[in-house]
Amino acid sequence: MAWMYLVVAGLFECGWAIGLKYTDGFTKLLPSLLTFSAMAMSFWLLSIAMKIIPIGTAYAVWTGIGAVGVAILGMMFFGESRSMTRIICLLLIVLGIVGLQFVPSSQGTS
C-alpha cells in the first residue's frame, strides 16, 4: 500500500509542477489554489509512504515520477523536445525507479 501512496504522491507532484506554469507567479487565484492543493496532497502522501519505504528510496522515486511525468507532459502539451537522447534519459530514470523497488529495505552493516 505504501508504494501506491508513493506513486499517487508522484502524480500529484506532476500536477503541481505543471500547475506552477499556470499560476503566473501565484497571481491567478484558481490555478494557485489548485497548485497548493496538489502540493499538499503530494507531500502528505509522500509522508505516509515514508512510514514504510526508506526515505532515500521514497524521495528518489517521488522525484523520479515527477521528473519523468512532467517531461512527458511537456512533450505532449508544451512542444518540448522529443529527441531520442531525451527519451533514453527518461527511460533510464524509469529503470532506476523500478530498480529501487527491488532493493531490500534494510541491509546489515559490515
Q: Is the predicted pLDDT of residue 102 greater than 90, yes or no? A: no
User: CB of 38 within 8 A of CB of 26?
Assistant: no
Cell of 96: 532506476
Overall average pLDDT of the 59-87 stretch: 95
Mean pLDDT, the chain, rounded, equals 92
Global pTM reads 0.85
What are the angstrom distances between the C-alpha of 53 and each of 13, 56, 67? 18, 8, 20
Contact 57, 100 (CB under 8 A): yes
Model pLDDT for residues 12-26, shown as the tens digit of each residue? 999 999 999 999 999
DSSP state of 110: -
Answer whether residue 104 shows pLDDT above 50: yes
List the one residue out of 60, 55, 53 whose CA is nearest residue 10: 60
